[in-house]
Structures are given as structure tokens and as C-alpha cells.
Chain A
Amino acid sequence: MNSFGSYIREKREGLVAEDKSKSLRQVAITIGVEPAFLSKVERDIVSPPSEGKIIALAEVLNEDPDLLLAMAGKVSSDLLAIVKARPQLIGELLRELKEQPDHAVLSVVRNITDGDW
């Protein structure tokens, strides 16, 4: 699996050919960091930025924020709050799901209902 830095660099460079607003400088300005800092993040010279900046980066690069946070070794604060509210139950659930295939995990995600119309 790619490192956090190389992953976002690959994604950003894939976008910049079509959209100049995805240049390193423009993306850095959009998420509110110095271009030099983002450059170091992309080269894995420094640690990934804060949760807020990673979520902003996910929005700019059209990536899943949970995926980027996980790659950065972080857990989003909303997920942490969910675990803290029911630590034993959620812990048990996650361990149970650990070995399950994706389709089984997806089956416990709340689906949008379809009714009579």
C-alpha cells in the first residue's frame, strides 16, 4: 500500500493535467497550508497534517476522508466519539467484522430505503 504522501501526490498529479487548480500551490492554498509544507507531506518528509486539513484535502482531491485519515494513521473525531460512546459493543462489532468479506460488511451499513411510489 502507498504511503499517505505518495498516495495524495499521485492523486493530485493525476488531476492537475486537466485542472490547474489542483497544482501543489493551489491545493495548499485551498486547504490552508504552506505549499512547502504540502510538498514535504507529499514526499513523506513530515507527518501527515491535522484531521481538519486531511478532510479538506479529501474534498479537494475527491477522495474518501476516512480512507485518507486511515492512511495517515488517524481516526476521525466522529468515529472516535462513536467508539467512546459504546466501547465494548463497538469493539466487539469491529473484531467480528475483521475477517468478513466486503459484501458482508456492506450489509450492515444503513441502506437508503425504497418504498411505495
Chain B
Amino acid sequence: MINLKNDRMNVRFPEICNEYELNISFQRTLRIPDDGNDHFLPPSLGKFPLRHIEDFDLVDKEHLKKRGGLIMPMFQSDALWLSFNCRSKRSIDLPIAIKVATGKINAVSGLKWENGLDSEPQNYLVVPDQPWLDGFNVGRGTVRQFVAAPLGEGLTVEEQINANSDVGGIQFEFIPMKKEYFEKLKLEAQTEGSQEFHDMRMMSCSKMSIDEMGIGAGGSMRQEIYEDEHGIDAWDLDNTKRCFITLANAEQWLSITGEEPPMSPISSEEYTDAGLPWFDYFDEDKISIEGAEALSDIKSIKDIYKQKIKDLFGGGTSSQNQKVHDISPKKKGNISNGFW
């Protein structure tokens, strides 16, 4: 079951592990410069609001409700990353395979959406191994940032792969580990101990119709997408959950929901100039997958605009004064998590 609380999607499979909950939130962040360099991971500037789509009058877009799921506001060129946070009480974390797509183009494999899992190429990520996803898997250890763009202008990744596509939004499928595999994993964990991940990128810090948004590719950053170390047979394909996130233009959010949309974030230059941290994360115990061949040639929003109207966005400067926090997990053996 998937429910919504405090702008987080909570995914549970109580028939496999009653005490486990996966929280997924959509983190607002800085748009990193699209300057040909690979950047560090940007921080969280708070969560995007999430609402049940069926609770609002969508006027001439009422048909969108048949997709179910949630609705979320984004300004054009807003950037986001996905946070996968595990909350378990006494048992170890239940591994879950997650497929992520934008406009029904898989963000890990670059292929068109199909239900189920593939291992060649791997079209999913695995939590708790993967704490975040910031963008499209364009190369080993490199992603291109998720950036909101209006549908219909050829800026989104889905429109680059299929010019007629008008799906928009973000799609998820969650596949839990089979119960028998999970029981075995728990037994193994009792002898090995396990690592606990802590999320450190969180900074403490008259009716209109809606314009649908999709996701385009922004600047490039360093992020590994890890290989599934459990194997494809470990996943319970008879017990999957899906969710469609419709993206609404934030300028219309007040009209749709009666709520103020989140403010557009500060620029990456302003953030760096204030001496605030960027992040680096690398788990040397895990193997990262190859970049998706189908995504290797996608153009960034800036490149597309360059072609269209000569660099409308302008881009940012490379942040040479960035303060970087290495938040990679420590080597196994350094941290003991005990049995609880």
C-alpha cells in the first residue's frame, strides 16, 4: 500500500515486513550549472508539496484523474531529486526494487515504460542501497539533473525519445523482495550486522486549467546507480505497487489547490557564495551500472534552447569555491549497528 503523509509517499508491504516503511519525498534543489562539468550533489531546499489528484477540480484536464496518484507543483526550470528513506523499527530494511520514469521513459535504462523488471540493462534501482536519485542515468557514475519543463516544446526527455509523447509527470513502480529471500537476508544480517544510512542532504534549513509539465535534463553530476546485488529472482513481481505523479505548473497551483506554491529556489552561485555545502557520496562496496545507451545522446534543456533561441537560460558558472561534504558510507566494520 502507498499513502501520503507530510508530503511523503509512504510505501509499505506489511505482508512481508510489518515494521518497515519506505518514505519517498521530492526534494527541491538548486539547478546545477550546465557547463560540461560533472558537479557535486546539491542540497535539499525542502520538499515539494504532494496532494491526491482526485481532490481538485482540473477543469478541462479532468481526464488526468484516470491515471490516479498525486499532483505536485513545479516552476519551469525547477530542479528536484528523489529521496528514498527507509524507516524500520526492529528488523533490517526490506529491500525494494524501484522503477522511476519521466513521461514513461525509464530514468535508469532510457527505455519505454513496461511493467516488471529487466536486468539487461538493469531498469531499476534498489533501496536501501540507493539513497537518492538526482537525474537520468547518462553514464557510469554520472546523471543529468531532473529539471521541470513544459510539455509540447520538445524540451523533455520523453519528447526527445518520442517527438509525439505527451505523457509528462513522474512514474514509479515498487517491487518488494520475496518473503523467503528477505527471511534469508535477515538471518545473514544477524551474523554480519548491517550499515544504517542517514539522510544528510536535508538542510535544516476563477479556476484555471493546468499546464502539464514533464522532466528534461539539466546539468551533469556525479552519482552512482548501483547494480542489484540480490539478482532479479529475488523480487516479488506478483506484489507490485505503482504511482503516477502529475506535474502541474506551479504558477497555477494556487488556483488549483488554494495553496501558495513553493518559492523558486536561489541560484547555485548564490548558494556557493554563501559558503553552504555540496555533497559527495560514493560507496566503494557497491558496483555501479553502466549509463543507459538510450540516454547517452539526450540534450540538456540549455542545449535545446541554444539551438532554438540562443541560450535563453544563460546557465550558471562553474562553482570553484564549492564546499563539499563527503557523506559516503564508511568502510564496513567501522560502524556497528547491532541487532534490533
Q: Could you mark each residue 62-96 of chain A with 1 if its beta carbon is under 8 Å from any beta carbon of chain B, else 0?
A: 10110000000000000000000000000000000
A98 sits at the interface (CB 8 A): no
A21 to B327, CA, bound (A): 12
Please state if A15 and B52 are interface contacts (CB–CB under 8 Å). Answer: no
| Chain A residues bordering chain B, tally (CB within 8 A) | 26
Shortest distance between the CB of B310 and any CB in chain A (Å): 37
- On chain A, the residues within 8 Å of B199 by CB distance are 62
Shortest distance between the CB of A63 and any CB in chain B (Å): 8
Please state if B4 and A110 are interface contacts (CB–CB under 8 Å). Answer: yes
Q: Could you mark each residue 100-116 of chain A with 1 if its beta carbon is under 8 Å from any beta carbon of chain B, else 0?
A: 00110011011111111
- On chain B, the residues within 8 Å of A18 by CB distance are 198, 200, 327, 330, 335
Please state if B198 and A19 are interface contacts (CB–CB under 8 Å). Answer: yes
From B11-19, B257-265, B292-300, give the one contacting chain A.
B11-19
Please state if A116 and B4 are interface contacts (CB–CB under 8 Å). Answer: no
A111 to B1, CA, bound (A): 6
A14 to B337, CA, bound (A): 9
Please state if A19 and B200 are interface contacts (CB–CB under 8 Å). Answer: yes
Please state if A113 and B69 are interface contacts (CB–CB under 8 Å). Answer: yes
Please state if A112 and B243 are interface contacts (CB–CB under 8 Å). Answer: yes
A18 to B12, CA, bound (A): 27
Task: Look across to chain A and name the residue whose beta carbon is closest to the beta carbon of B65.
Answer: A115
Q: Could you mark each residue 15-27 of chain A with 1 if its beta carbon is under 8 Å from any beta carbon of chain B, else 0?
A: 1011101100000
Shortest distance between the CB of A53 and any CB in chain B (Å): 13
A19 to B202, CA, bound (A): 11
A41 sits at the interface (CB 8 A): no
Shortest distance between the CB of B193 and any CB in chain A (Å): 14
Given A112-B52, A114-B69: A103 touches B18 (CB 8 Å cut-off): yes
Of A21, A30, A65, A112, the residue contacting B3 (CB under 8 A) is: A112
Please state if A111 and B3 are interface contacts (CB–CB under 8 Å). Answer: yes
Give the contact-size bracket for chain B.
Answer: 35 or more
- On chain B, the residues within 8 Å of A109 by CB distance are 1, 3
Task: Look across to chain B and name the residue whose beta carbon is closest to the beta carbon of A19.
Answer: B200
Please state if B244 and A110 are interface contacts (CB–CB under 8 Å). Answer: no
Task: Look across to chain B and name the residue whose beta carbon is closest to the beta carbon of A110.
Answer: B3
B152 sits at the interface (CB 8 A): no
- On chain B, the residues within 8 Å of A107 by CB distance are 1
Residues 36-65 of A at the B interface (beta carbon under 8 Å): 59-60, 62, 64-65
Shortest distance between the CB of B314 and any CB in chain A (Å): 34
Shortest distance between the CB of A52 and any CB in chain B (Å): 15
Please state if A113 and B54 are interface contacts (CB–CB under 8 Å). Answer: yes
Please state if A30 and B204 are interface contacts (CB–CB under 8 Å). Answer: yes
Please state if A112 and B69 are interface contacts (CB–CB under 8 Å). Answer: yes
- On chain A, the residues within 8 Å of B204 by CB distance are 21, 30, 59-60
Shortest distance between the CB of A56 and any CB in chain B (Å): 9
Please state if B198 and A15 are interface contacts (CB–CB under 8 Å). Answer: yes
- On chain B, the residues within 8 Å of A114 by CB distance are 68-69, 241-244
Task: Look across to chain B and name the residue whose beta carbon is closest to the beta carbon of A56.
Answer: B204
- On chain A, the residues within 8 Å of B4 by CB distance are 110, 112
- On chain B, the residues within 8 Å of A62 by CB distance are 85, 87, 198-199, 202
A19 to B281, CA, bound (A): 13
A115 to B18, CA, bound (A): 26
Please state if A117 and B244 are interface contacts (CB–CB under 8 Å). Answer: yes
Shortest distance between the CB of A51 and any CB in chain B (Å): 15
B196 sits at the interface (CB 8 A): yes
Query: Quick one: which of A60, A107, A117 has the most chain B CB within 10 A?
Result: A117
**Chain A interface residues (CB < 8 Å from chain B):** 14-15, 17-19, 21-22, 30, 59-60, 62, 64-65, 102-103, 106-107, 109-117
10 cross-chain CB contacts under 8 A? A21-B204, A62-B199, A65-B6, A102-B18, A103-B14, A112-B69, A113-B52, A113-B54, A114-B68, A115-B65
**Chain B interface residues (CB < 8 Å from chain A):** 1-4, 6, 9, 12, 14-15, 18, 52-54, 65-70, 85, 87, 104, 167, 171, 196, 198-200, 202, 204, 241-244, 327, 330, 335
Ranked nearest first, the 3 interchain pairs of A and B with the lowest CB-CB distance are: A115-B68, A113-B68, A117-B67
Beyond the given A103-B15, A116-B67, A117-B66, please list 16 additional residue pairs across the A-B interface where CB-CB is below 8 A. Answer: A18-B200, A21-B200, A30-B204, A60-B204, A62-B202, A64-B87, A107-B1, A109-B3, A112-B2, A112-B69, A114-B243, A115-B65, A117-B67, A117-B104, A117-B171, A117-B244
